[in-house]
């Protein structure tokens, strides 16, 4: 778990996924206040293993640990990121409503298992 004095959101992402890396780079550019700490779970699961979340599970879905220690995954993790990022914080209250979050989660559940294949397709069939 992050240190109690650390009020940043901890985001656990798949650093082997080219689309994920691109998106994290985009978010890092927006995060001028340093509100988010990023952890590449393709290297290790980090402190998620303390919560019974192994590396394989961490690679399957994006995870985020709120400053209070609770973990959210999938679309809810994105909403937590958006709350902290300039420009996107305006979308977070709407995206976090139950109907919108359900739609976003449905899209994420479709996307997540296909992201590596989509990366290759977007790279023109080359290994991305």
**DSSP assignment of 35-75:** -EEEEETTT--GGGGGGT--HHHHHHS-EEE-TTS-EEETH
Does any domain span residue 21? yes
Distance CA 68, CA 77 (A): 14
Give the range of the structural domain holding residue 78, as residue numbers without chain letter. Answer: 9-122
Mean pLDDT of the chain: 91
Q: What are the DSSP calls for 7-39, one per residue?
A: -SEEEEE-TT-HHHHHHHHHHHHH-TT--EEEE
The distance in angstroms from the start CA to the end CA of the chain is 32
Is 127 a domain residue?
A: no
The predicted model gives 7-13 an average pLDDT of: 95
Number of domains making up the chain: 1
Residue 70 domain-assigned (yes or no): yes
Q: Which pLDDT does position 128 carry in this prediction?
A: 43
Tens-digit pLDDT profile for residues 35-63: 999 999 999 998 998 899 999 999 999 99
Range name among 9-13, 15-19, 115-119 with the lowest pLDDT average? 115-119
Q: What is the mean pLDDT of residues 112-119?
A: 91
pLDDT the model gives residue 2: 46
**Confidence label for 123 from pLDDT (cuts 50, 70 and 90):** confident
Judge whether 4 lies within some domain.
Answer: no
Is the predicted pLDDT of residue 127 greater than 90, yes or no? no
């Amino acid at each position: 778990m992050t240190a109690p004095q650390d009020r940043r959101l901890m985001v656990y992402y798949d650093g082997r996924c080219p689309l994920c890396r691109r998106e994290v780079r985009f978010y890092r550019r927006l995060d001028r206040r340093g509100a988010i700490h990023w952890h590449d779970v393709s290297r290790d699961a980090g402190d998620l293993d303390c919560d019974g979340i192994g590396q394989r599970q961490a690679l399957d879905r994006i995870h985020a640990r709120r400053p209070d220690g609770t973990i959210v995954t999938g679309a809810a993790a994105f909403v937590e990121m958006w709350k902290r990022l300039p420009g996107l914080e305006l979308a977070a209250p709407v995206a976090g409503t139950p109907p919108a979050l359900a739609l976003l989660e449905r899209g994420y559940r479709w996307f997540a298992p296909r992201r590596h294949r989509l990366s290759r397709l977007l790279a023109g069939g080359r290994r991305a």
